[in-house]
Every structure is written in structure tokens, then in C-alpha cells.
A and B are shown apart, each in its own frame.
Chain A
Amino acid sequence: DTGVSQDPRHKITKRGQNVTFRCDPISEHNRLYWYRQTLGQGPEFLTYFQNEAQLEKSRLLSDRFSAERPKGSFSTLEIQRTEQGDSAMYLCASSPTAGLNYNEQFFGPGTRLTVL
């Protein structure tokens, strides 16, 4: 169990560019979550996957945002036409559906996005 990993850890981009982040959850964790955290705030829920199915999207997730989990393992979050307001830490978490840690979310280190 190597934990949740995210790549890249930091991304600096210019306004209007597209960016894609990757999350590798803990193996065998069926649930995967994306959150966004801006400076001085708590994380905010973005979207949730159960295996490969995206079951909930927050209203925070505008049309410029898309997330996938094509094989029920890793997930990607893409932001098109980035805006300065997209600058934040993007957090991924995974969770098992059974066992001792049921209902606990394990977080990755996050991807810090800076839009210039």
C-alpha cells in the first residue's frame, strides 16, 4: 500500500491553457473523490467516482472541468481554458467500500495549480 499519489505536484500555467492532473488511488479502493482547496479555506467537494462511474458532480465544476476514471483505477481531472480563479490545490482521495477503514478517505499530497 503506497498511498494515494498525484501528479504533478505543482503546475504553473498561463491563463487560457489546458491542464490535466492525475490521481492514482490506493489499489482496490472503489471510491475516488476530487476536492479543491484555496488558500485559507477548507477543501470543497468537486466530484465522486464509484469504480468508473462518475456519480456526482458539484456545481463548482463548470463546463471547463472534466474528470474521468476510465478503468476504475486512476483518475484524471482536466481544466480547459484556465482562469486565474482556478488557482488552488487540487486534492484526490480514495476510500474502500468495506473493511476496517470503511468510510475513511485517504488523501494524496495534492496538485498545486497556479494560473498566471
Chain B
Amino acid sequence: AQSVTQLDSQVPVFEEAPVELRCNYSSSVSVYLFWYVQYPNQGLQLLLKYLSGSTLVKGINGFEAEFNKSQTSFHLRKPSVHISDTAEYFCAVSRGHAGNNRKLIWGLGTSLAVNP
């Protein structure tokens, strides 16, 4: 079984500062990794995903994440945040190559608050 831990429930940051949202996972099988964003009163939107290949993944809105297999981590980063980045961020994993069911196992979320 897989599990996901988002190490910070809330991250306050000033506008134009860098930010890192931390995510660790556990799994006995290969996994795919995802970061989703949920803006207030909106649905979940995919920021980026790691399936295979380069461990540094670039996503939308200037976000990137690095897959670290030895540390079982998939931390999300942005070098300079904007007020509009204020949202809830979720890390999720699914099984890798085995089977067709790619159900997502989710972390509890990190609330990013960007202040002027």
C-alpha cells in the first residue's frame, strides 16, 4: 500500500519569495507522483507529474518538483511566488506500471498563503 505525508499543513510566505512544499511517500512498488492545486471554490488542477525519466519535473505556473527515490520525496518548489498562488496544494501517488487502476493516494494538503 502507498501513503503520502505532506510535512507542512500551512506555509505562509511573502510575495516574490521562494517556496518549497514538502512531500514524502512510502510504497513497496514503483509509483507515479503528482502535485495538484485547488484554488478556493474550484476543482483540482494538475500542476505537474513524475512518471519516469528526468527527476526534475517542470509544471505550470512556474512550479517544479524533484523526485528523490532514495529519500522517497517529491518536493514542490517555486523560485518567486505571487499572490495568485495562494491555494491548497496536494501531493498524490499512484501505482506505477502494474495494472490499470491508477487510483490516487493523497496527502492531507498544504495551505500556501502568499502575503503582500
Contacts and interface: CB of A to CB of B under 8 A. Distances in A.
Interface of A: 31, 33, 35, 40-45, 48, 50, 55-56, 91, 93, 95, 97, 103-110
Contacts, number: 57
A23 to B, nearest CB: 12
A56 B42 CA distance: 27
Contacts of A31: 100, 102
B87 interface: no
Contact of B49 (A40, A93, A103): A103
Interface of B: 4, 32, 34, 36, 42-46, 49, 51, 90, 92, 94, 100-109
| Interface of chain B: mostly helix, strand, loop or mixed | strand
Q: Is the interface of A mostly helix, strand, loop or mixed?
A: strand
Contact of A91 (B32, B44, B45): B44
Contact of B100 (A44, A45, A55, A107): A55
B109 A95 contact: no
Contacts of A97: 100
10 A-B pairs with the lowest CB-CB distances in the bound complex, closest first: A42-B106, A107-B44, A109-B43, A45-B103, A107-B43, A43-B106, A42-B108, A48-B101, A42-B109, A42-B107
Contact of A95 (B4, B44, B102, B108): B102
A93 B106 CA distance: 14
